[in-house]
Amino acid sequence: MIKICGQSLWCKILEIGVILTLGTTLVFPTEKTLAQNTTPPPNQPPIPERPRQPPLPIPQPLPQPPLEIPPPTLPGTEGRPEIPGSITVSRFEFNGNTAFSDRELSQILAPFTQRPISFAELLQAEAAITKQYLEKGYVNSGAIILAGQALPQQGAVVKIQIIEGGVEEIQISGTKRLKPNYIRSRLKLATAKPLNQRRLLQAMQVLQLDPLIQSISADLSAGSRPELSVLTVRIKEAKSFKAEFFADNNRTPSVGSFRRGVRVSEGNVLGFGDRFTLEYANTTGSNAMNMSYTMPVNARNGTISLSGGFSFTNVIEKPFDILDIAGNSYSVDLSFRQPIVQTATREFAVGVTASRQESHTTLLGENFQLSPGADASGTTRVAALRFFQDWTQRGPKDVFAVRSQFNVGLGILDATTNPEPPDSRFFGWRGQAQYVRLLAPDTLIVFRTDLQLAAGALVPLEQFALGGQQSVRGYRQDALLTDNGISASAEIRLPILRV
């Protein structure tokens, strides 16, 4: 594996490593044996380049952004209710509490009821409620016993006012290209009344993992009232532009396995966290270009993505090169993804993708039906909806990720429909799981499994591909295409040289 990359065109990194792989593959029903020297049959057209998998999430220490919190202050305690010596409280009544129910607060104060208590003990009851709020992270909340209450010596009902604090202003400093509202809107969700320190720290940890933010710190200061605070946030932006040149052998030998290309991305195009990526790659017999644009649509990191790509291929592998087999394809995807649970250690997200793909093949310069499901002109068109669910669990030394995706093919948008399958009408499920553990600095062990189940025959664009870096290493790219299959592998990645 050799990759030249960098934060800018002038920064280059040369990284050479060794990957030891142990893998297993199961295909059902079995139609052929996967072998090291498998050659695609002459009636198999060039397969469009598969979408590039995102880079492996690397285990790293969980961020702990500093948060300075002043000592809690509550409204003055002047005008306390006076009690004659001691009183017996039958119950406490609470007003203004949302973090805890009346029942929870009553249980805390149960030791102060149904027995004579002094004025000092009554203040202890007030302090017990404030302590409960502080211990649970509500740093500017508490309780006071209101003045003006008439408290008889027997059967007294004591009213306690709960003051739940909040944030009246969020001040952002340190931003350059990133708009302050990108930070403010995300922290505003975490500072809703009543303000909770743990919830705020959790939101800051999630922001610290944002690739646009290099570091973040904050402090709370007194606001216009004792129960209100001002949150001052300081950030340092990370570089959002990246450019990398890459070279690998991730393509099928039929069009040339050695691939080279360039990839550029800008993670903050318009200042609100929108990302644009452009990639071009070629081999001796192929040219491919892919691009995508992703924009956040809400403060909970929901995103809409528009991506597309096209490729041109020619079979150059002997003896099939004399047939002048050529193909071209394009794809367009529109996706919506919404995290439902998102913390520094775990994320669960759901989403949907509307997909449109088309491929076309020729033989000796003439339109020709080479692949199953194609029409007489050699064209296959697929329209589909894909519903996916993602789960990621991360720790300081490992990351576990699972993806489930249901694929529903539709006979719309001029999609291919045939009297018999395969065509654009299909149903299938894809499940993927990956576990990465850090054994030593820059040394990883990776366990990966991939499963596909289909209700019927699929066109090649939708089939399960085996072979290559993204599935079973050591076998040629797309050595086997099948409707149903499962693969599993274990890898140890050892760095040898980094310059």
Comparing 363 with 74, which gets the higher pLDDT? Answer: 363
Q: Are 302 and 289 in contact (CB under 8 A)?
A: no
Tell me: pLDDT of 254 over 60: yes
For residue 480 the two structure tokens come to: 């086997």
- From the list 432, 415, 426, the residue with the least C-alpha distance to 486 is 432
Q: 3-state secondary structure string, 353-418? A: EEEEEEEEEEECCEECCCCCCCCCCCEEEEEEEEEEEEEEEECCCEEEEEEEEEEEEECCCCCCCC
Q: Which residues pair with 450 in a beta bridge?
A: 432, 487
Phi-psi region of 111 (alpha: psi -120 to 50; beta: other; left: phi over 0): alpha
3-state secondary structure of 420: coil
CA atoms within 13 A on the CB side of 49: 29
Range 211-216, long-range pairs (CB < 8 A, 24+ positions): 211/238, 211/240, 211/267, 212/178, 212/182, 212/237, 212/238, 212/240, 212/267, 212/268, 212/273, 213/178, 213/237, 213/238, 214/238, 215/65, 216/65, 216/183
445-472 pLDDT per residue, tens? 999 999 999 999 999 999 998 887 777 7
Any idea which residue has 């654009």 for tokens? Answer: 424
- From the list 60, 419, 373, 352, the residue with the least C-alpha distance to 205 is 60
For residue 1 the two structure tokens come to: 């594996």
123-175 pLDDT per residue, tens? 899 999 999 999 999 999 999 988 878 888 888 899 999 999 999 999 999 99
Tell me: pLDDT of 85 over 80: no
Rounded distance between C-alpha atoms, residue 407 and residue 160, angstroms:
57
Edge-to-edge strands of the sheet including 156-163?
A: 116-118, 86-95, 156-163, 142-145
For residue 56 the two structure tokens come to: 């492996």
Distances (CA, A) of 379 to 233, 410, 417, 420, 465: 55, 16, 11, 16, 20
Q: List the domains of the chain with CATH numbers.
A: 20-49+279-498 (2.40.160), 86-163 (3.10.20.310), 169-236 (3.10.20.310)
Distances (CA, A) of 369 to 322, 378, 443, 464, 490: 17, 4, 47, 21, 38
CA 447 to chain centre: 19
Q: What is the pLDDT of residue 7?
A: 34
For residue 305 the two structure tokens come to: 């993505």
333-369 pLDDT per residue, tens? 999 999 999 998 999 999 999 999 999 999 988 888 8
Find the largest Cα–Cα distance for the chain.
108
pTM of the model: 0.85
369-401 pLDDT per residue, tens? 888 888 989 999 999 999 999 999 998 889 999
